[in-house]
Amino acid sequence: MRKPLILLVLICGCGGPEPEESETPENGVPATLAFAGNLQDKNIAEASGLAASQRRADVLWTHNDSGAKASLYAIDLSGRSVGRAKMKKADNVDWEDIASFTLDEIPYLLVADVGDNEHKRDSVMLYVVEEPDLAVDAKPDITPAWRIEFSYPGGPRDVESVAVDIENERVLLLTKRTIPAELYSLPLRPRSDELQIVTFLGEIASLPQPSGRDVDFALKTKSWHWQPTAMDIAPDGSAIAIVTLAPAVYLYQRNRDWLSTLQAAPLKFTLRGIREPESVAYSADGNSLYITHEKKHAALLRIDFN
C-alpha cells in the first residue's frame, strides 16, 4: 500500500505584505505562506514558467504561454518588472516552463517549448540561452546557445513541468495528462543537433490520482486538479517541488535518484489565495518557493521554510 501524503498546513499571509508564522506540523517542518506581490508588467498575461536568476538572488525569470512573443521577463521578488529579453531565432509555440542552471561557470536559462494540449506535435523544443546581465542591458536581444529538439518513444505527450538536473547534466520532464504522470529525461547538452528521443524513467503515482468520477466530470467542472503544471529542483539538489492545479505544491526530499525520489511519499503544501498555479521556482538560496499563475497582474506567492 502506498504511504499517505503528509499534509503541511500553512498559515497564509496573503492579505498583506507580512507573513504569519505557522506551527510545526506533527510530521513535517514549519513553513509560512506569504503574498509576495503581483506581477506588475502588463505584458505578462500568462506566466507559465518561473525560474530563479543565476546572476542575482533578487530576480526571477518568467515568460508567457503559447502564441505570445518569444520574450523572457525579469521580475524582482515582489513581482516588479526589472528587465526583458527578446529571444531571436526562437518561436513560442507553447512555452510551458523555464529552468535556470550554471554550467562551466556560465549561467543559463532553459525555455521549454513542450506544451501539446492536443497531442499533435511530432517533436518539441528546448531553447538554452545564456542568462543576460541586466546590469549591462535591461532589455537585450538574445539568441539560443543551443537547441534540443526531441520526441517521445510512445508518441506525443503534453508536458508543462521541466527541471534541470545539473548534477547529471540532464533535463527531467513530467507529463501533465497521462494517468499516472510519466517521468522522462534527456541529455542537457546532446552530442549532436539531431532529433533526440527521450528516455522513459517511470510512472509517478505518488501525486494524487484522479478517481473515475474526477475524469468523467473534468470537462463539465473544468477541474483537472491532479495535473502537474511545473516543477523545480532545489539549488543544492536536495529536493524537488511539483505544483498541481489543485492548487497545491508537493515537496520530495531526495533519496538516491530522482525516479525513486518522486515515487516516495511527498510533503503537501495546500495553497491559499491562488487558483490553478502554473509555475514554481526555488529561491536562489533554496529557503523559499515562489508560485504564480496565468493571469494579468497575477499574484506571486512565497513559501518560506523556517
Q: Count the alpha carbons within 13 Å of 193 in the hemisphere toward its beta carbon.
A: 4
Asked, for residue 108, whether it belongs to a domain, the answer is yes
Asked, for residue 268, whether it belongs to a domain, the answer is yes
Contact predicate 34/302, CB 8 Å: yes
Give how many domains the chain has, as a whole number: 1
What is the chain's percent helix, strand, coil content, to nearest 5?
A: 5, 45, 50
Closest among 235, 230, 236 to 250, alpha carbons compared: 230
Query: How much is the pLDDT for 262?
Result: 98
pLDDT tens, 68-114? 899 999 999 999 999 999 999 999 999 999 999 999 999 999 999 99
Contact predicate 91/64, CB 8 Å: no
pLDDT tens, 213-265? 888 888 788 788 999 999 999 999 999 999 999 999 999 999 999 999 999 99
Q: Structure pTM?
A: 0.91
Q: Give the C-alpha separation, 143 to 39, whole Å.
A: 25
Q: What is the residue type of 62?
A: T
Q: Give the C-alpha separation, 276 to 85, whole Å.
A: 27
Contact predicate 63/95, CB 8 Å: yes
The cell numbers describing 264, all together, are 516516495
Query: How much is the pLDDT for 22?
Result: 46
Q: Give the C-alpha separation, 162 to 222, whole Å.
A: 24
Domain CATH code at residue 87:
2.115.10
For residue 274, the enclosing domain spans: 6-305
Please name the residues in contact with 274: beta carbons below 8 A apart, sequence gap of 6 or more.
247, 291, 292, 293, 299, 301
- Give the whole-number percent of the chain exceeding pLDDT 70: 91
Helix (H) or strand (E) holding 251: strand 248-253
Closest among 125, 138, 245 to 190, alpha carbons compared: 125
Closest among 165, 36, 178 to 103, alpha carbons compared: 165
The cell numbers describing 278, all together, are 502554473
Asked, for residue 1, whether it belongs to a domain, the answer is no
How many other CB atoms are found less than 10 A from the CB of residue 44? 24
DSSP assigned state of 16: S
pLDDT tens, 143-195? 999 999 999 999 999 999 999 999 999 999 999 999 999 999 999 999 999 99
